[in-house]
Amino acid sequence: MSLEDGPLFFVGIDWAATAHAVCVLERTGRKVAAFTIEHTAAGFARLAARLDKLGDTELTAVAIERPDGRLVDALLEAGHPVMPVKPNAIKTWREAEVLSGAKSDPGDAHVIADYLRVRIHRLRPAVPYSGSTKAVRAVTRTRGDLVDARVAAVNQLAALLDAHWPGAKVIFASLSSAIALAFLTKYPTAASAASLTEKRLAAFCAKQGYSGKKPAAVLLARLRSAPAGTTDPDLSEGARVAVLAQVGVITALNTAIKDLDRAIAEKIDAHPDGEIFRSFPRAGTVNAAQILAEWGDAREAFGHPDAIAALAGITPVTKASGKQRGVSFRWACNKRLRQAITTFADNSRHASPWA
């Protein structure tokens, strides 16, 4: 018997950080087993051993509210069909099936297993990605997280300068640039820049290799035209420490992002599909790697181009009832893939003469 004939057992796993509740149902809905495993190597081994006793792993389907992770990897490596299910879908199913509103981890595992048993024909099994694709995903996702962290750190630095030294915020175009960070390292407070002259500023810019087109006179005018900075000695000292701390955070993030950029270039060059994705008009290296990482190399998982478009959240959702009909934004999607695809769309229009 194959999976197409229907699994013999349906496993629901309620995922948690330290322990996972497991429920096993047979085709009729009768509960075969219910137990809890720890999120450890021993716990994973115990789960594998319990599921192996049920027979052919290909006929023991598993549903879990996660599309990836080490537990999902272990189940896929063991040969189980793994069906990622959406938490909102399980929540709605539980509310319809558990009228009392009772909720527990073992109860949720049972709900997930029953959802899988009833709706398996509508669910798509997870397809394991290759090691090279996982490597690209690891570095691109980490880079995305660090870019978000840098945006937050720059906003915090901007708020700090607004409160204590507004001029330092506007002298250069970007607070995360090397020249702006070097300036704040040398002049973290208004008091430290009190004796700054046009000649000294020009010398500083030359030493830093400033490539901006604004002469020192313009930059100094920006600095002096902003509201005056804090002059209280005690407050200035506190602001100095705070500014240097934020500068250190942003500098470290800049270095880490550059290191990841190099790693991304190496990973996509080594990927079998790297050349295909890098051929996208103006996708570049990082954006091409982001698309590849989220799209993956298991193309058989998408039966039609509309499927990948829906996954990326770039197709609208139509809601019609009676005489009313509306088209709305698609919220349920892979958010990272949507960002990658929309970034590519924006970049590619610059390579099109009619866009």
* Strand-pair category, 60-64 with 9-14: parallel
Over residues 194-228, the pLDDT tens digits come to: 999 999 999 999 999 998 889 999 999 999 999 99
C-alpha to C-alpha distance for 48 and 34, rounded to whole angstroms: 14
pLDDT of residue 44: 96
What is the Cα–Cα distance from 111 to 63, expressed in whole angstroms?
A: 10
What would the DSSP string read from start to end of 227-291?
PP----HHHHHHHHHHHHHHHHHHHHHHHHHHHHHHHHHHHHHHSTTHHHHHTSTT-TTHHHHHH
In order of 66, 97, 109, 122, 235, the CA distances from 83 in angstroms are 9, 20, 14, 10, 57
Distance of CA 5 to the CA centre of its chain: 37
Specify whether domain 3-128 bears CATH 3.90.1300.10. no
Contacts of 134 (CB under 8 A, 6+ apart): none
**Residue range 2-19, pLDDT digits in tens:** 445 678 999 999 999 999
Tell me which H or E stretch contains 90: helix 87-97
Q: What is the pLDDT of residue 37?
A: 97
pLDDT at residue 2, as a whole number: 47
Tokens of 161: 């300068």
- Tell which residue, 286, 238, 235, 299, has the closest CA to residue 258: 286
Q: Which residues share a beta bridge with 207?
A: none
Neighbours of 258 (CB within 10 A): 11
Task: Output the CA–CA distances (angstroms, integers) from residue 353 to 279, 284, 342, 350, in the order listed.
Answer: 18, 19, 19, 8
Which residues in the chain show pLDDT less than 70?
1-5, 355
Of the candidates 63, 108, 58, the one whose C-alpha atom is nearest the C-alpha of residue 84 is 63
* pTM of this structure: 0.84
Number of helices (H) and strands (E) in the chain: give both, helices first.
14, 7
C-beta neighbour count of 73 within 10 angstroms: 16
* Count of beta carbons in the 10 Å neighbourhood of residue 326: 10
